[in-house]
Amino acid sequence: MTARRAAARALANVALVKYFGKRDPLLNLPAAGSLSVALEPLETVTEIAFDEDLQGDAVSLGGAPADPAFAARTTAFLDIVRGLAGRATFARVTTRNGFPTGAGLASSASGFAALAMAAAEALGVELTEPELSALARRGSGSAARSIPGGIAVWMAGTLADGTDSFARAIAGPRDFDLRIVVGVTDPGPKAVGSTVAMERTRTTSPYYASWIETARADLVDAIAAVEARDLERLGEIAERNALAMHGAALAARPGLAFWNGATVDALHSIRALRAEGSLAFFTCDAGPQPKALCSPADEDTVAARLAAVPGVRSIIRCRPGAGAALVACP
Ligand code: PMV
């Protein structure tokens, strides 16, 4: 049989209202909804070729064979897609991140969104965008939001099978002109993965229940802020939401401290800029890289100030980007 091939491109995203807590860890169903911005140019391009001559999946990342953990996660995800297609054929998977590898930037969102789209296409599984988003969610929760791209809302849903837990765009990439400046402080891999961190926070943090309540209320406010194209309001919600998430994680036992000194200095720098009149707000995921949400007019100032924080090794300027899309196979 000739190999069935497809390739897809997807962007990473940063949550302005964070997903941090699962109602079902197996299906990656969140306890609360979240809201994100797709980050152009932080892309993953994944090519997949199903081939009956293969005895197992062959996974490469950035031009080299992927490590066993990455390969196992890819195979576990492909098993879900093979199940939908009613096929057992293995695949050759070639993934490249278009941002510096080892920059400590989460690539699971862009990676599983691109993989979901390419694998479904190659196996002839026809899915609507919500179904594709729910499929990508199985690989990594945040990947659900990289399918629609733009400014996306991923609803928690209430169904046990997760079919109502997918993301949809509430604004396209050009509908709300904003910028995200990412500071890279630590290129190393995360000490604690997001699933372990979320489960520890859910089961041991005395602040978990209030964090989830806070996130639910923040999501309602953030959607209204996006609809009103109100960057100041959206930024205030994003900053307080990130701090609340980290507060709940810090209170877990043992506490999860994702930040390093440069992350804290970046928070203060961004707040100082705001006091000086810039529209700039801090956010940070389950790692040490600070991110500033800002207006296009303030982007240069924010980038320069963030780059000047001791311990910030590089910065990457991002803008809202598109959803996942098929691309020509190389
Ligand atoms: O998609 P995961 O399982 O890597 O979780 C991502 C969690 C955060 O980045 C901390 C928040 C978010 O909503 O992206």
**Pocket around ligand 1: residues whose beta carbon is below 6 Å from it?**
15, 18-20, 34, 106, 108-109, 140-142, 194-195, 285-286
Q: Please name the residue whose Cα sits nearest to atom 4 of ligand 1.
A: 194
| Ligand 1 centre distance from Cα of residue 198 (Å) | 9
The DSSP-derived string for 303-320 is HHHHHTSTT--EEEEEEE
In degrees and rounded to multiples of 5, residue 32 shows phi and psi of -145, 160
**pLDDT recorded at residue 99:** 83
Q: What is the total residue count of the chain?
A: 330
| Ligand 1 centre distance from Cα of residue 313 (Å) | 23
Q: How many CB atoms lie within 10 A of CB 188?
A: 9
Our separate counts of H helices and E strands in the chain read 9, 14
Q: Is the peptide bond before 288 cis (omega within 30 degrees of 0)?
A: no
Which residue stretches of the chain have pLDDT < 50?
A: 1-2
Nearest ligand 1 atom to alpha carbon 245? 10
* pLDDT one-digit tens code per residue, 72-125: 999 999 999 999 999 999 999 999 999 876 666 878 999 999 999 999 999 999
| Ligand 1 centre distance from Cα of residue 70 (Å) | 17
| Ligand 1 centre distance from Cα of residue 194 (Å) | 6
Candidate of 14, 19, 23, 37 to mutate for ligand 1, largest count of ligand atoms within 8 Å of Cβ: 19
**pLDDT recorded at residue 31:** 98
Tokens 């001791």 belong to residue? 310
| Ligand 1 centre distance from Cα of residue 52 (Å) | 35
Candidate of 22, 194, 259 to mutate for ligand 1, largest count of ligand atoms within 8 Å of Cβ: 194
Q: Which residues contact 181 (CB under 8 A, 6 or more apart)?
A: 291, 292, 294, 299, 302, 303, 306, 315, 316, 317, 318
> Please, what CATH class does the domain formed by 3-174 belong to?
alpha beta
C-alpha triplet 134, 136, 138: angle, nearest 5°: 80
Nearest ligand 1 atom to alpha carbon 106? 4
Cβ–Cβ under 8 Å, residues 122 and 142: no
> Please, what CATH class does the domain formed by 179-320 belong to?
alpha beta
| Ligand 1 centre distance from Cα of residue 277 (Å) | 31
| Ligand 1 centre distance from Cα of residue 110 (Å) | 12
Whether the domain at 3-174 and the domain at 179-320 fall into the same CATH topology:
no
Candidate of 20, 70, 291 to mutate for ligand 1, largest count of ligand atoms within 8 Å of Cβ: 20
Candidate of 77, 142, 200, 245 to mutate for ligand 1, largest count of ligand atoms within 8 Å of Cβ: 142
Would you kindly state where each structural domain of the chain is located, as residue ranges? 3-174, 179-320
Distances (CA, A) of 211 to 29, 193, 203, 204, 245: 17, 19, 13, 13, 6
Cβ–Cβ under 8 Å, residues 108 and 116: no
Q: Please name the residue whose Cα sits nearest to atom 6 of ligand 1.
A: 142
**pLDDT recorded at residue 95:** 96
Tokens 């229940």 belong to residue? 209
**pLDDT recorded at residue 233:** 98
Give the C-alpha separation, 59 to 238, whole Å: 36
